[in-house]
Each structure stands twice: as structure tokens, then as C-alpha cells.
């Protein structure tokens, strides 16, 4: 019961925060707590819990309320979130702009759950060329995923489809029908020709060969190497 908001006592600074910043009718308790923290950085967690209605445990699990390192603070100042940008898109953009940021730092900056970030390829690892492309070609406000992917590909033709998808934050199917993504890289063509002279016995062996090649070749991906008939098979 001691951790429940209704049993906590307000400090004088908390009362001043309430008087200065009122909760909007359409504002969630979490958003209100984040807004209070941005305007009154000295508020105790107990005060914040009492004002917002969130429990102390809920406050501890809110990424935006974690204390930021100086590096993360500098990244936020250099790369602020735009009004029309969702949390995942901002996390991806700030990671591309500042590759040294950790998952927890990007989570705190964007408000995205760390678990969700660990599933995004930009946080798993990308080639140096892909990271460079993500930093050099920012998304234009309001730009759809397919057009952004085409612009990234035009600027950095050697990027694979999977790398473009990681930079944009979408599925490869979003842009795979455009001509520039259907033209296979020369490296992938070489692999195809080798496979044609030494045909694999099954799809599984073709897939294993493609996976091994992707590990050692930065200029092509599995989707570039596998034959068109194999791409239609869901693994």
C-alpha cells in the first residue's frame, strides 16, 4: 500500500508542479508523468507517482523516465524527435545517427520497450556501408517506406534489400516490386551461375549455401542468392 499513489504525501515542490502543469483531459498518466519530468527534473519518484497516478513500479518501467547518460543527452539534443514520428521510427533514426548508443539508451530516448528494439535489425547489427547510408540519407517528413527505400538504394546501390529494409524499418516486400530491387548484384549472379553448374539436391541445401555465403559476402543477401522459385517457399 505504501507504493500506491493515493497513500503517498506530496512535497512542496510537487504541489508547485501541479499548479504549473495541469493534466490534459486526453492525456494518459504515462504521458503526463513524462511531461512533468521534462519540466520539473527535480521531482522525486514518489511525488511523480502521487501526481500522475502511476505506481512506483510503473514509473521505474517507463523508459523515458530513466536517467540519461551525457552521451544520450547529447544525442537527443542533436537528433530530436519530430512531431509526426512514432517511437520505433525515432529509435531507429537516432541509432543510425549515433551508432554508439546502447539499446537501453535508445529505449529511454524513444520510449520503446528494449525487447522490441532487440528484434530490429538496426540494433542487431548492420554492415558499415548500411550504417553509413542510414546516416547520409535521412527520411523526408511524410515520406512513405517504399519511396524512402528507393532513395536510399539510389544513393547507395550496393546495399542489399535486407539492409534497405533495416534502414527504412519495413519488410522487403514493401519495395521488392520496384526494378532497382529486382536487379541482382553481380556477386549474386556469380553465385547463381555456380549453383547452376553444381545444382543442389534440395531447397534446404540451397538455403544453407546461401546462408553461408551471406556470412562472408557483405555485398549480397540470402534473398539475392536464392533462385526465384525458392523465394516463394516460406521457411
For residue 34, the tally of other CB atoms under 10 A from its CB is 19
User: What is the pLDDT, as a whole number, of residue 126?
Assistant: 78
Q: Which residue spans within 172-222 are E strands per DSSP?
A: none
User: What is the pLDDT, as a whole number, of residue 205?
Assistant: 63
Q: Running DSSP on this structure, what letter comes out for residue 79?
A: S
Q: Would you give the distance in Å from CA 217 to the centre of its chain? A: 24
User: What is the pLDDT, as a whole number, of residue 147?
Assistant: 92
Q: Read off the pLDDT of residues 67-79 as tens digits, 9 standing for 90 and up.
A: 788 898 899 899 8
Average per-residue pLDDT in the chain?
75
Q: Read off the pLDDT of residues 166-224 as tens digits, 9 standing for 90 and up.
A: 888 888 888 888 878 865 555 555 555 555 555 555 555 665 665 555 544 444 555 55
Q: Running DSSP on this structure, what letter comes out for residue 140?
A: P
Number of H helices, E strands in the chain: 17, 0
Per-residue confidence band for 235, with pLDDT thresholds at 50, 70 and 90: very low
Give the separation between CA 67 and CA 55, rounded to whole angstroms: 18
User: Do you know the residue count of the chain?
Assistant: 235
User: What is the pLDDT, as a whole number, of residue 188?
Assistant: 54
Q: Read off the pLDDT of residues 30-66 as tens digits, 9 standing for 90 and up.
A: 888 888 877 776 777 787 888 888 887 887 777 777 7
Q: Read off the pLDDT of residues 121-163 as tens digits, 9 standing for 90 and up.
A: 788 777 888 888 888 888 888 889 999 999 999 999 888 888 8
Extract the C-alpha cell encoding 96: 543510425
Q: Report yes or no: 76 and 107 within 8 Å, Cβ to Cβ.
A: no
**CA angle in degrees (0–180, nearest 5) for 152-157-162:** 65
User: What is the pLDDT, as a whole number, of residue 18?
Assistant: 73
How would DSSP label each residue in 127-138?
A: -HHHHHHHHHSP
User: What is the pLDDT, as a whole number, of residue 48?
Assistant: 80
Q: Read off the pLDDT of residues 78-131 as tens digits, 9 standing for 90 and up.
A: 988 888 888 888 898 898 888 888 888 998 888 888 888 888 878 877 788 888
Amino acid at each position: 500500500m505504501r507504493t500506491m499513489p493515493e497513500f503517498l504525501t506530496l512535497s512542496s515542490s510537487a504541489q508547485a508542479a501541479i499548479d504549473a502543469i495541469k493534466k490534459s483531459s486526453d492525456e494518459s498518466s504515462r504521458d503526463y508523468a513524462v511531461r512533468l519530468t521534462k519540466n520539473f527534473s527535480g521531482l522525486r519518484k514518489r511525488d511523480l507517482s502521487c501526481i500522475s497516478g502511476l505506481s512506483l513500479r510503473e514509473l521505474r518501467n517507463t523508459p523515458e523516465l530513466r536517467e540519461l547518460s551525457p552521451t544520450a543527452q547529447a544525442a537527443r539534443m542533436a537528433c530530436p524527435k519530430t512531431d509526426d514520428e512514432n517511437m520505433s521510427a525515432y529509435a531507429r533514426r537516432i541509432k543510425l545517427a549515433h551508432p554508439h548508443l546502447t539499446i537501453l539508451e535508445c529505449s529511454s530516448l524513444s520510449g520503446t520497450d528494449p525487447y522490441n528494439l532487440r528484434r530490429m535489425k538496426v540494433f542487431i547489427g548492420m554492415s558499415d556501408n548500411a550504417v553509413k547510408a542510414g546516416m547520409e540519407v535521412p527520411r523526408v517528413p511524410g515520406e512513405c517506406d517504399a519511396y524512402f527505400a528507393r532513395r536510399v538504394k539510389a544513393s547507395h546501390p550496393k546495399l542489399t534489400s535486407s539492409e534497405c529494409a533495416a534502414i527504412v524499418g519495413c519488410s522487403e516486400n514493401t519495395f521488392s516490386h520496384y526494378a532497382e530491387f529486382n536487379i541482382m548484384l553481380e556477386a549474386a549472379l556469380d553465385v547463381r551461375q555456380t549453383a547452376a553448374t553444381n545444382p543442389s539436391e534440395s531447397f534446404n541445401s540451397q538455403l544453407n549455401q546461401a546462408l553461408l555465403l551471406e556470412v562472408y559476402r557483405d555485398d549480397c543477401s540470402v534473398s539475392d542468392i536464392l533462385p526465384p522459385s525458392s523465394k516463394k517457399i516460406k521457411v
